[in-house]
Amino acid sequence: MKEEESIYRAFSNLSEFIKEKKILIKENKNGGNVEFSEAMQNVKKIPQDAERIRKQSRSTPRTTHILDSKKQLEESLQDYQNLNVTNLPEYMEGYADGINPLTMEKLKNGEFSIEKTLDLHGYSIDNAEKIFSQFLKEAICSGFHCIKVIHGRGLKSKGKPLLKERLKTWIVKAMHRKWIIAFSSAKMCDGGPGATCILLKHKPEKKRIHIIG
């Protein structure tokens, strides 16, 4: 379409045409007619090269509740992991004469990496003792420094938890005692009173072991 035939060109002089012909647009407050020039006096012309920007509203997901729930869960787990197992009545520990107090504290705080774990659940007392002896022997031959024995809390046992009590007896045996520096109930995140962490020596040395709990 040619420029002179364009509809935009036809309306380009509309304002001058209306002004020239004095076409009435509407009535004023006094009941009189308002001319086009008066009606358009406060209208501003938009430059043709003006850039128009349309702002799109973005819907922001409501994540506040999710973040709060996640934070509460993390805080709960942190509190659980920081529980001091030594305050529980089922806690037990033991240490050989001459042990560095800092070493014992590290063991109780779970600062030693557990290199081998034995689970005694479901075994009879006699079988559990044999399995523990073999487990200890293999750990010593492998040069492990810290091991863990899972024995359960014995909550279903009548009286004292059998496996847990027997484990203390097995540890103080002469053949085992010379390889053990200390032992302690595990941290809550590692099994709590249902598991015992044992610190081993690299060279056999017979010393008296003091047991607490």
CA distance 54 to 72: 41
pTM: 0.58
Q: Is the dihedral of CA 175, 178, 184, 187 positive or negative?
A: negative
- What are the residue ranges spanned by the domains of the chain? 3-39, 88-212
Query: What band does 175 get if pLDDT is binned at 50, 70 and 90?
Result: confident
Among the residue ranges 114-118, 130-134, 144-148, 189-193, the one predicted with the least confidence is 189-193
Average pLDDT of span 89-108 = 90
User: Which of the pair, 21 or 101, is modelled with greater confidence?
Assistant: 101
The architecture of the domain spanning 88-212 is 2-Layer Sandwich (3.30)
Least confident of 48-57, 95-104, 126-135, 203-212: 48-57
Q: Look at residue 53 in the predicted model and tell me its pLDDT.
A: 47
- What's the mean pLDDT when you consider all of the chain? 74
Q: What is the pLDDT of residue 210?
A: 83
What confidence tens digit (pLDDT) does each residue in 135-164 have?
999 999 999 999 999 998 866 666 566 888
pLDDT higher at 54 or 202: 202
